[in-house]
Structure 1
Amino acid sequence: MLPDEARQLLSSEGLALLDRIGGYGSASDVLRISTALRREGHPPDLIAAVLTQARLRQRAAAKFGPFADRMLFTEAGLEQATRLPVAALHAGRYRSAGLTRIGDLGCGIGGDAMAMAAIDLEVVAVDRDEVTAAFAAYNLAPFEGAEVRIGSAEETDLSGIDGVFLDPARRTAGHGGTSRLGPDDWSPSLGFAFGLGDRVPTGVKLAPGMDRELIPDGAEAEWVTIDGDTVELAVWFGALARPGVTRSAVVQSGGATARIDAPADTEDPEPRELGRYLHEPAGSVIRGRLIGDVARRLDAGLVHPGIAYLTGDRPSPDPLAASFEIREVLPLDERGVARTLRSLDIGTLEIKKRGVDIDPAQFRKRLGLRGPGQATLVLTRLGSRRVAIRADRLAPAAAQ
């Protein structure tokens, strides 16, 4: 969005139109709304900006819930914005460390700054993009302790700042994952971001697949999974890093939160024979290489060396691992699996796989299932065999 378009949107006319039209559900709705607004004499550029913003607000509900209806977004800002529950975790860490005035360097549309300001932390939110900073200022307007500045992270005066948060943006677009990015492929660079940790308590939000070799010694690396989606790696320095903890995994699911902390990567458990349950550790547990700690909690072992499935005789009591009750183990033969599932009237099938080169979507399609039943099929290895494990996923409450 260009600055002139943003100014139109931020006008009283633009904000009133945005609140008036609310959301829309289809291309025909867009045409209907656009036609009506043109007939009222509103400028085409303003109509386009309002419709775009209404669409972004609808998308933003997944991250910000009902707060999205009173916020402004850019495409890039929404894509990179921290989900509200995770932003609350960030803010809580700063408060727990006794920090009161935080510099959010590269604040984007202000999601993390909002979470900090909401618990009465003072925030200096900085972004180099004029439009993004303007939208952040709008989003932070309800909070007296929040200030927004236009500028770069590298040039921000940190006088009076006792804690820093950075969410570096990828300079190179189009990467499917971040593990191939080097320390200079970010803005600001990881060298700058991590270097701040030597001067002031600092948190750096990164993609969860970032190369682990880039994590500095002595920092706390925390991976976060929300409702099955591993959303970030946060690296904490100084007072924000907890003593004796360098690896951490946080999992939120269905309103429950669980975490596991460790002084270092933990060794994987030994493989064992299948028990009553199969467990799938959360992505943050796997990324943090903390499977061994979860296995000890569950008295479980690996299904197969190098494959991140666990097995044991009791279900997981928390969302650090999803549990499946094993019903039978079938050879990984497509026709045989199809016959078994059809005989059970299975029509809804969740397919999970590790250690086998199979496309679950294509595999499901070829099975041609019909029926009212549902099941989970885990495609993996047991020793030298490729197997299909039919199981029932346990709901979190049932696993407690």
Structure 2
Amino acid sequence: MSDAPQDQIAQLLSEEGWQLLASLGPYREDQSFTLNASLRKQGHSPALVSAVLTQSRLRTKAEAKFGEFARQMLFTQAGLEQATRLNVAARHAQRFAQAGIRHVADLGCGLGADSMALASLDIAVTAVEVDETTAACATINLIPFPHATVVHSDATSVALGDADGVWLDPARRTTSTSGTKRIWDPEAFSPPLSFVESLAASGLAVGVKMGPGMPHDSIPAGCEAQWVSVGGDVTEVTLWFNAVARPGIRRAALLLGPQGAAELTSAEDFGGGPVAPVGPVEGYIYEPDGAVIRAGLVADLAVQLGGHLVDEHIAYICAPDAVDTPFARAYKVLEVMPYSVKGLKAWVKENGIGVLDIKKRGTSVTPEELRKQLLPAGKGSAKKAGQKTATLVLTRIGDDRVAVSVEPV
């Protein structure tokens, strides 16, 4: 029997496999051994049982990205790791719809998340995928959408026909027998960034999803770069060209959370924009969302908050007042101390602290190791009844390391 993804997907596409998969409830690791034995006892082959249980596990894991749609979809492990969350894919699709794009070529469609979002807005989609197994999954996932067609082909050589928009989610991982490994060089992506730029140069409306750690100097001129954070987790930077790029916006941080969406933007190129003052740790300290940091908008946020940086190279902002902002977490400054393990240990003991949350920027201290050093044996970050809690922010101001006792707002 083979556990290769293509063999497992082939098993699922049989009538027996599809019906068996549909009969299963949410995957539970603690029941998998018993379920495996039970399904084999019913006469199902070991290969089919393995394929069904693997897919059931992936579907359950995929609910975080796809919600209830995951229950009818097919996944591969590598495809799920890179797949766009459905609420983010909807934002991508809205860009094309608002620009009046009628036909999008989704080059490197993966499992089809962005194609699903585009097709749901009645945009015609040609979903192109070079990997045969992934293309088979995308075909199943796009069955409910008559405007979507899956093509098994190389994204760099397929004819675009009458497509007036292109969406790309280049493969940024390599897959081997030991798992998947991330690629960092944009020219090693599949397709490479230079191919994306050539499409944009032809005048097509182009959007491309890249990893959020993409260096600013790798981002092409003439596009809008939008970092996206979902629930505080920075998931991507999207580069928008031509009709889908917004006039007057070079970089942006889009935050999606339970309270809705919020966005901070700048017309200035990277390295431009306001220069925030630098001042002492006082009043309230703000920890910007990762998308704000990645987009180089920390100084813009400091100005918006009426605050200052504690160090020009570190993404902590201080302001005299508590300001309600979606772009940062706020903490009230209680005490500023020099960083010293001995001094902090005495401070913990003197204040009877049993639970300690440690945040840090600009210092090599490992919070987990420091917590072990500061707290009495047997205590940690898990709160127990009656224990006093505290939060420490560790950072650097110039050459000096400091520890700031704070209270979350």
Q: TM-score if structure 2 supplies the norm length? A: 0.90
1:119 positional shift: 2.2
> How many Å apart are 1:272 and its aligned residue?
1.2
- The aligned counterpart of 1:49 is 51
Out of 272, 280, 290, the residue aligned to residue 273 of structure 1 is 280
Higher mean alpha-carbon deviation, 12-21 vs 150-159, is at 12-21
- Residues of 2 paired with 1:14 and 1:147: CA distance? 24
User: Does the alignment pair 1:214 with 2:218?
Assistant: yes
Structure 2 CA distance, aligned partners of 1:70 and 1:318? 38
Instruction: Output the CA distance in 2 between the equivalents of 1:250 and 1:374.
Output: 32
Residue 301 of structure 1: how far off its partner (Å) = 0.6
Question: How far apart in 2 are the matches of 1:177 and 1:377?
Answer: 33
* Cα 1:320/1:4, change in 2 over 3 Å: same
Task: Give the distance between the partners of 2:260 and 2:320, measured in 1 at CA.
Answer: 23
Corresponding residue for 2:264? 260
Confirm or deny that 1:348 pairs with 2:367.
Answer: no
Q: What's the TM-score once normalised by structure 1's chain length?
A: 0.92
Counterparts of 2:174 and 2:38, CA distance in 1: 40
Partner residue in 2 for 1:135: 137
In 2, distance between residues paired with 1:281 and 1:271? 16
Q: Which amino acid aligns with 1:317?
A: D
Q: Aligned pair in 2 of structure 1 residues 346, 54: CA closer, same or farther (>3 Å)?
A: farther
Give the letter aligned to residue 284 of structure 1. Answer: A
Task: Tell me whether 1:357 sits opposite 2:364 in the alignment.
Answer: yes
- Which deviates the most, 339-348 or 105-114? 339-348
Higher mean Cα deviation, 277-286 or 166-175? 166-175
Q: CA, structure 1 residues 23+342, in 2 after alignment: closer, same or farther (shift >3 Å)?
A: farther
2:333 corresponds to 1:329: no
1:268 deviates by: 4.1
CA contact (8 A) 2:391 2:407 kept: yes
1:47-96 deviations in Å (ceiling 9; x for gaps):
10111111111211221222222211001100000112211111111111
Q: Deviations over 1:17-60 (max 9, x none)?
A: 2222223333x522111111111111111110111111111211
Match of 2:24 among 21, 24, 43: 21
Deviations 1:323-342 (A, max 9, x none): 11112222212233233334
More divergent stretch after superposition (103-112 vs 349-358): 349-358
CA contact (8 A) 2:302 2:308 kept: yes
Structure 1 residues 18 and 387: alpha-carbon distance in aligned structure 2, compared to 1, 3 A threshold:
same
- Residue of structure 2 in register with 1:387 after alignment: 402
Structure 2: distance between partners of 1:243 and 1:316: 29
Partner of 1:11: 14
Q: Secondary structure at the match of 2:201?
A: coil
Please say if 1:203 is aligned against 2:207: yes
Query: How far does residue 176 in structure 1 lie from its aligned partner after superposition?
Result: 7.7
Q: Contact between 1:177 and 1:209, CA under 8 Å: does it hold in 2?
A: no
Q: Which amino acid aligns with 1:271?
A: V
1:235 matched to 2:242? The reply is no
Percent of aligned pairs sharing the same letter: 43
Report the counterpart of residue 393 of structure 2 in structure 1: 378
Contact 1:172/1:185 (<8 A) preserved? no
- Whether the 8 Å CA contact 1:329–1:390 is kept in 2: the answer is yes
Relative to structure 1, is the Cα distance of residues 355 and 171 closer, same or farther in structure 2, using a 3 angstrom cutoff? closer
Query: What's the CA shift for 1:171?
Result: 5.7
**Cα deviation code 1:78-118 (max 9, x no counterpart):** 00001122111111111111112111110100111111122
- Check the 8 A contact 1:280/1:321 in 2, yes or no: yes
Q: For structure 2, which runs of at least 5 residues remain unmatched after alignment?
A: none
Q: Which runs of 5+ in 1 are unaligned?
A: 395-400
Shift of 1:205: 0.5
Deviations 1:281-325 (A, max 9, x none): 111111111112111110111011211100002334332111111
Note if contact 2:5-2:133 (Cα within 8 Å) is conserved in structure 1.
yes
Deviation at 1:218, TM superposition (A): 0.7
Given that 1:253 and 1:319 are in contact with CA atoms closer than 8 Å, whether structure 2 keeps it comes out as no
> C-alpha separation between the residues in 2 aligned to 1:42 and 1:144?
34
Provide the alpha-carbon RMSD of the alignment. 2.0
Code of the aligned partner of 1:374: T
Distance 1:119 1:338, change over 3 A: farther
Displaced runs of 4 or more, over 3 A: 1-4, 171-178, 341-348
CA distance in 2, matches of 1:343, 1:23: 49
**Residue type of the alignment partner of 2:160:** L
Q: Distance in 1 between matches of 2:53 and 2:217?
A: 43
Residue 368 of structure 1 and its aligned partner are, at CA, apart by 2.2
User: What is the one-letter code of the residue matched to 2:395?
Assistant: T
Q: Do the aligned residues in 2 keep the contact of 1:258 with 1:318 (CA within 8 Å)? A: no
Q: Tell me by how many angstroms 1:2 deviates.
A: 4.3
Residue aligning to 1:309: 316
